[in-house]
Amino acid sequence: MGRIIAGKTSDIQPGNMIKVSIDGRDILVANIDGKFYATDDSCTHSGSSLSEGKLDGGIVTCGWHGAQFDCKNGNLVKFPAKIRDLTSYNVVIESDSVFVEV
């Protein structure tokens, strides 16, 4: 497992999220009340980019069909059909850098 830098803590303000590409994977990194979380960026229903959706608290809502996922663990929160949870990644903060472990 390796660490990849996603950016500086100042790049992702509380209540915001960004998409980073790591080893060919798109990963969403969210700042929820000063804590950082990382999950797959692709919705497991439609494949759309979740970072283009809406973040409310710790829940990201897909902009295409409204699937909702918990950014803290990648679990599906709400959708009319059962779809796969997102993969969740460990985030490490060192100084002012945000690292994702993949």
Contact criterion met (CB below 8 Å) for 61 and 54: yes
Give the whole-angstrom CA distance, residue 95 versus residue 98.
9
pLDDT of residue 1: 63
Contact criterion met (CB below 8 Å) for 28 and 39: yes
pLDDT digit string, tens, across residues 8-23: 999 999 999 999 998 8
CA-CA-CA-CA torsion for 82, 74, 22, 4, nearest 10 degrees?
-160
Domains parsed from the chain with CATH numbers = 3-101 (2.102.10.10)
What residues form DSSP beta bridges with 93?
98
pLDDT digit string, tens, across residues 32-81: 999 999 999 999 999 999 999 999 999 999 999 999 999 999 999 999 99
pLDDT digit string, tens, across residues 67-82: 999 999 999 999 999 9
Contact criterion met (CB below 8 Å) for 83 and 30: no
Instruction: Provide the whole-model pTM.
Output: 0.94
